[in-house]
């Protein structure tokens, strides 16, 4: 008899827990699918607008794309508090580096995207249906992360194009999405690029998304993202020998701002600053 009571009582607690788990997991995955579907839909809407306005692949399409993608935040209850927009107001090209936490970052990217700015993306994105098409039309530069020599020669060509076409280039120096609540070590491509083109670097930091978007906890609700555009870092006169220092300096600065914006105490003994 005692055993039966125990069983009933544990069921009383277990069933709602299991149901809650299933439904929150379901809700999380449903929302992610909804997000991807919205990206595909908005890209499919933006593509003909780009083609009709600008005819083909050009950075001018980024204006249309950013305007369309900015509507996404209203569907997902995400808000942005932006500081330092004036730091984007520099004449000529530059390399913009920012932290990359999830596919939701496309909203934060498009929220503040300056004029004449293209992004570096993994080549797999080209095959993401209408999203692939819109990235192509916007002039996104694709790299093959599995072939360092290819990636390097593409980046060298980008350095030339930045100068000749007056382009800003947006790079996620962590090289992959990272929702760990810290920054990954930085890869050096962005810094080589800035030095080769002799252009400044503008760091942009987004606060941690983990309070409202967390894959481990199946959490995806609405929330506010703090964004800070930091003052430019000059690279004139620097040489290849300064790359490691420069990478480390940018990583440290951005990591401090990341912790501050995320209301977390700064841990100075975090991950090594440079990718090995
Ligand atoms: C609604 C729809 C939305 C619409 C969205 C539209 C917008 C879409 C936005 C999409 C957003 C999508 C976002 C995304 O898709 S994020 C994923 C793709 N992006 C990136 O990976 C960018 C960051 N990665 C890098 O910068 C890497 O360094 C690259 C990729 C370049 C190479 O990486 P890899 O792992 O292969 O090599 P390594 O970094 O270990 O380096 C190895 C060695 O080479 C040296 N080296 C490196 N580079 C250069 C260079 N240029 N010249 C000379 N040397 C160079 C380097 O110092 C090192 O040497 P040492 O120092 O050890 O001696
Ligand atoms: C007809 C073919 C249909 C294919 C459908 C593909 C489904 C994909 C649909 C929507 C994707 C919406 C994603 C928005 C753009 C996200 C860009 C992005 O964040 O890429 C991740 C990349 O930064 C780093 O990748 P990894 O973390 O290294 O991995």
Mean pLDDT of the chain: 92
For ligand 2, atom 7: residue with the closest CA:
128
CATH number, domain containing residue 95: 3.40.1130
Nearest ligand 2 atom to alpha carbon 122: 22
Return the pLDDT at 273: 53
For ligand 2, atom 18: residue with the closest CA:
103
Per-residue pLDDT tens, the chain, 276 aa: give them.
Answer: 577 888 888 778 777 767 766 666 678 888 999 999 999 999 999 999 999 999 999 999 999 999 999 999 999 999 999 999 999 999 899 999 999 999 999 999 999 999 999 999 999 999 999 999 999 999 999 999 999 999 999 999 999 999 999 999 999 999 999 999 999 999 999 999 999 999 999 999 999 999 999 988 889 999 999 999 999 999 999 999 999 999 999 999 999 999 999 999 887 765 545 454
Distance, CA 102 to ligand 2 centroid (Å)? 10
Pocket of ligand 2 contains residue 176 by CB under 6 Å:
yes
Q: How many structural domains compose the chain?
A: 1
Chain segment 217-237, per-residue pLDDT in tens: 889 999 999 999 999 999 999
Chain segment 121-175, per-residue pLDDT in tens: 999 999 999 999 999 999 999 999 999 999 999 999 999 999 999 999 999 999 9
> Taking the model in full, what pTM does it have?
0.92
Q: Give me the sheet containing 117-122, strands edge to edge.
A: 78-83, 223-229, 201-206, 94-98, 168-171, 117-122, 141-143
Distance, CA 129 to ligand 2 centroid (Å)? 10
Distance, CA 177 to ligand 2 centroid (Å)? 11
8 Å CB contact between 209 and 100 = no
For ligand 1, atom 46: residue with the closest CA:
189
Q: For residue 107, give its domain range.
A: 2-275
Distance, CA 241 to ligand 2 centroid (Å)? 35
Pocket of ligand 2 contains residue 122 by CB under 6 Å:
yes
8 Å CB contact between 218 and 74 = no
Chain segment 117-136, per-residue pLDDT in tens: 999 999 999 999 999 999 99
Pocket, ligand 1, Cβ cutoff 6 A = 39, 42-43, 65, 69, 100, 106, 119-122, 125, 131, 134-135, 138, 140, 143, 145, 148, 151-152, 155, 171-173, 175-176, 187-190, 192-193, 275
8 Å CB contact between 150 and 143 = yes
In angstroms, rounded to a whole number, what is the distance separating the alpha carbons of residues 29 and 114? Answer: 32
For ligand 2, atom 25: residue with the closest CA:
176
**Residue 243 CB partners (closer than 8 Å, separation 6+):** 188, 191, 192, 195
């Amino acid at each position: 008899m005692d055993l039966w009571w125990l069983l009933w009582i544990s069921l009383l607690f277990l069933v709602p827990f299991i149901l809650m788990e299933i439904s929150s997991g379901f809700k999380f995955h449903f929302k992610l699918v909804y997000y991807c579907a919205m990206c595909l839909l908005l890209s499919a809407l933006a593509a003909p607008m780009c083609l009709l306005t600008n005819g083909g692949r050009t950075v001018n399409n980024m204006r249309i794309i950013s305007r369309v993608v900015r509507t996404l935040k209203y569907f997902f209850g995400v808000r942005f508090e932006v500081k330092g927009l004036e730091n984007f107001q520099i004449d000529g090209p530059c390399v913009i580096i920012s932290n990359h936490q999830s596919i939701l970052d496309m909203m934060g990217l498009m929220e503040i995207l300056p004029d004449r700015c293209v992004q570096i993306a993994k080549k797999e994105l080209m095959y993401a249906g209408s999203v692939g098409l819109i990235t192509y039309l916007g002039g996104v530069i694709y790299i093959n992360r599995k072939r360092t020599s290819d990636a390097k020669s593409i980046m060298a060509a980008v350095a030339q194009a930045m100068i000749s076409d007056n382009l800003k280039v947006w790079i996620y120096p962590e090289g992959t999405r990272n929702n760990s609540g810290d920054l990954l070590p930085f890869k050096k491509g962005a810094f080589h690029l800035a030095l080769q083109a002799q252009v400044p670097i503008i760091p942009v930091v987004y606060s941690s998304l983990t309070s409202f978007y967390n894959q481990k906890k199946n959490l995806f609700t609405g929330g506010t993202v703090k964004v800070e555009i930091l003052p430019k870092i000059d690279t004139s006169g620097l040489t290849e020998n300064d790359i490691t220092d420069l990478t480390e300096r940018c990583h440290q600065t951005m990591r401090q701002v990341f912790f501050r914006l995320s209301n977390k105490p700064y841990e100075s003994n975090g991950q090594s600053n440079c990718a090995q």
